Structure 1
Amino acid sequence: MTNHLTTDGEYALAGELAQEFMEMVTALKSRARKLGISPQQVADHLDWSLEDVQEVESPFGDPSLSMVQDYARATGAIISIEISNYMPRSEATVSAGSVHRSMVDDRRPQVKWEESAGTPLVLR
């Protein structure tokens, strides 16, 4: 398996993405509490155990994306995901019998989690 996180910048980007994921989960948990939705109500609605809900809500948990999407749905929110090129990609060219690699950086869109005027939480 190829390791795509080969530079310090790419490791930093992975850290930023993990932080953004945690901020999204925190926003969803805050939304649930503001709406008066308890962890037990989320568990009952999704037919989950209370431990599953705690996995999503805990800052030390490691929930899957599908778990977070289900949790969002239980609180009346949706998660909108955009896929874009944000990691450098290699371009190889052959010249005089040798291979030269150059890195092309694609700028990653700026993201911010916020509650929209309606009920869904959207990525802007």
Structure 2
Amino acid sequence: DDHSDIVDDHSDIVDDHSELVDDHSDIVDDYSDIVDDHSDIVDDHSELVDDHLDIVDDYSDIVDDHSDIVDDHSDIVDDHSDIVSDHSYIVDDHSDIVDDHSDIVDDHLDIVNDHLDIVNDQ
């Protein structure tokens, strides 16, 4: 009878141990799943960081391009200002030439009139 109780107790202990081993195996599996999930999260985070860095680089390129466009526009405005100024000088010079020509024509007419006066006087 005592032996039978000992055998039963031993059997219970073996069953309990088997359950503990199964529980431990489940815990190890769950932990492995958690580690895998964590690894996936770390990989996703790394991809997000890489994407963010790409976006920052792209933004930096856009800012640089914008700065170049602003510089080019400033150059165009300066060139336009130079052209307007040059045109103003050309218009002024042309006006001077027209005035000089008018003076020459007036002088010529005076000479012609003087000549006609001389001819008429003779």
| Structure with the bigger percentage of helix | 2
The structure with the largest alpha-carbon Rg is 2
Q: Fold match, TM over 0.5?
A: no
Q: TM-score, normalised by structure 2?
A: 0.25
Bigger proportion of residues as strand: 1
Q: Which has the higher contact order (CA 8 A, sep 6+)?
A: 1
